[in-house]
Structure 1
């Protein structure tokens, strides 16, 4: 598979896997997996992260092509990238399924 297949050429596989390999970022993706749009303030509260820490994590996810954002007054709202390339989406779904399975066993 060509590297340019990931996130329409914007993301290399290593960037994608690095973005998925951090617990706070994975938690944010699990929250966003409901298909909705979430304010960074909600992500902060649910994940116990400070605003600066959450913003840094979301920038990593955005740079990896996993999320998109929209400014809403003073807050930024995030959602999963609906244009994520199929190979990247498959990786994301597999990681989320594994995280959900692991939580169910805990």
Structure 2
């Protein structure tokens, strides 16, 4: 399960979405789209990956889906998530 979580967080848009969700409130797809510059279909796909990894939960609100961090995340994964989200994002370095 840890590899699934880390793999989900490795993609920059999903990582940024998780940072936004780190404020412990719900965010609709429309808000995430605007803040991250993603289309609705692309943002929905990213959020589906995060949901399948067990990192987020969702609820339908009329035409939109709202996401928040999974409150039932196992403690060991919550610690990993906290550690990863605390990291500063650095530009990718090319390996020679």
The alignment's TM-score, normalised by the length of structure 1, stands at: 0.82
Verify: 1:84 aligned to 2:83, yes or no. Answer: no
What is the root-mean-square deviation in Å for CA atoms of aligned residues? 1.0
Q: Secondary structure, in 3 states, of the residue corresponding to 1:70?
A: strand
Any idea what the Cα deviations from partners look like across 1:36-81, whole Å, max 9, x if unmatched?
A: 0000000000000000100000000000000000000000000000
2:14 pairs, out of 4, 21, 25, with: 25
Higher RCO (CA-CA < 8 Å; seq separation 6+): 1
Q: Return the match for 1:50 from 17, 39, 49.
A: 39
Displacement over 2 Å in runs of 4+ = none
The number of equivalent residue pairs is: 90
Structure with the higher helix share, 1 or 2: 1
In the TM superposition, residue 102 of structure 1 has moved relative to its aligned partner by 3.8
| SS of match in other structure, 1:34 | coil
